[in-house]
Amino acid sequence: MGRRGYQRNPDERRIKSIAKYFERPDAIMPVAGLLNVREKGQLKFRAGELTVPDGTRVWVVDMQHRLKGLVRAREERALRRGSFHFPVVITEGLSQVEEAAQFYIINTKAKKMDVALTRRLLIENNRIRDIADVKPWEIAAVRITIALNNDLVANPWYNRIRRPNEERLEGHIATEKSYVNSLRQLLITGKFKQPKKTAKRLAAYWSAIRENIPEAFEEPRRFLIQKTPGMFVFNFFLAPRFLATNDDKRFAARLSGLKRLGPDFWRRTNRRGARKFGTGMAGYSNLADHVREYVK
């Protein structure tokens, strides 16, 4: 292996983000980094105190971005010396190859957890600054989805969206994660900056869809309009243009062409209807193009 390294190249954006987090007065780092002293017998541990002799070379196995972020924060004088505690695990006697093995295990064996429930809890409690990797549109989308599912009683999505980690109930026909993703195109431009107002407009929009094809909403499990295809057609592809104008009272009239398309078009068993366009974004895009021919 010679002098070749085993770690990925440092990501400057990630270092900057970590440094910014460390600058906060309430910042903590409970996850320990991993260091190693390759020479055996260098470390001394007596009476609960570890001594690392001067001149001892300590190798960073897994924590390079956290360490560089901490150093960056110190360099920018955002941290006082000794003001931040950073836990580490120090091994002794591992070779470079054995270090690489530990690095591999740490970065491949740990299962990445679905953090949708945690994200939801933080957004509900206005702890946005703790969600460093969540885009602004996603925060708005979660708030809108919560409002449609919990607050706006008259809309077709009320109590229909399964929250993260919630037991699946008979009335659930969509997941919060899928619904949030379907709102990306609507919110990514930043035009709709008031989640509560946007949720009310979406409620009116979907109520107008239901008004024109009520049969497709009476037994939603038998139809695709409130499943992923319909969700993406009407939220992702059509909603941006519909909600761009302030004529919510005309939603029903503008969507009246859905009557010609008919509820059977959305029936799950109809191979000549919405189902024929298939799944995936390409399929949903083609389905949206077809629906556009019927609506104003």
| Close Cβ partners of 259 (under 8 Å, ≥ 6 residues apart) | 212, 213
Instruction: Let me know: does 64 contact 7? Beta carbons within 8 Å.
Output: yes
Distance spanning both ends of the chain, measured CA to CA: 65
Q: Is the pLDDT of residue 79 over 50?
A: yes
Query: Following CA atoms 53, 41, 89, 59 in sequence, which dihedral angle do they give, to the nearest 10 degrees?
Result: 70
User: What is the torsion angle, in degrees rounded to the nearest 10, for the CA atoms of residue 13, residue 14, residue 20 and residue 23?
Assistant: -140
Comparing 133 with 144, the larger pLDDT belongs to: 144
Q: How far apart are CA 32 and CA 25, in angstroms?
A: 20
Whole-angstrom Cα distance, residue 51 to residue 34? 17
Which one of 53-57, 85-89, 274-278 scores highest in mean pLDDT? 274-278
Q: How far apart are CA 56 and CA 45, in angstroms?
A: 15
- In this prediction, residue 1 carries a pLDDT of 40
Does the pLDDT of residue 149 top 90, yes or no? yes
For the stretch 205-230, pLDDT in tens is 999 999 999 999 999 999 999 999 99
Average pLDDT in the 258-271 region?
Answer: 96
pLDDT at 113 over 70: no
28 token code pair = 């903590």
Average pLDDT for 240-245: 92
Biggest CA–CA distance in the chain, Å, is 83
Higher pLDDT: 108 or 158? It is: 158
- Amino acid (one-letter) located at 94: L
- What pLDDT sits at residue 2? 46
According to the model, what pLDDT value does residue 111 have? Answer: 61
In this structure, are residues 38 and 90 in contact, taking their beta carbons and an 8 Å threshold?
A: no
Least confident of 49-63, 227-241, 281-295: 49-63
Check residue 135 and give its pLDDT: 82
- H/E stretch holding 9 reads none
Average pLDDT, the chain: 88
How far apart are alpha carbons 176 and 159 in whole angstroms? 11
| pLDDT for position 212 | 97
Query: With 90 as the cut, is the pLDDT of residue 296 above it?
Result: no
Instruction: Indicate the residue type of 4.
Output: R
- List, in order, residues 6 or more apart from 204 with CB less than 8 Å away: 155, 248, 251
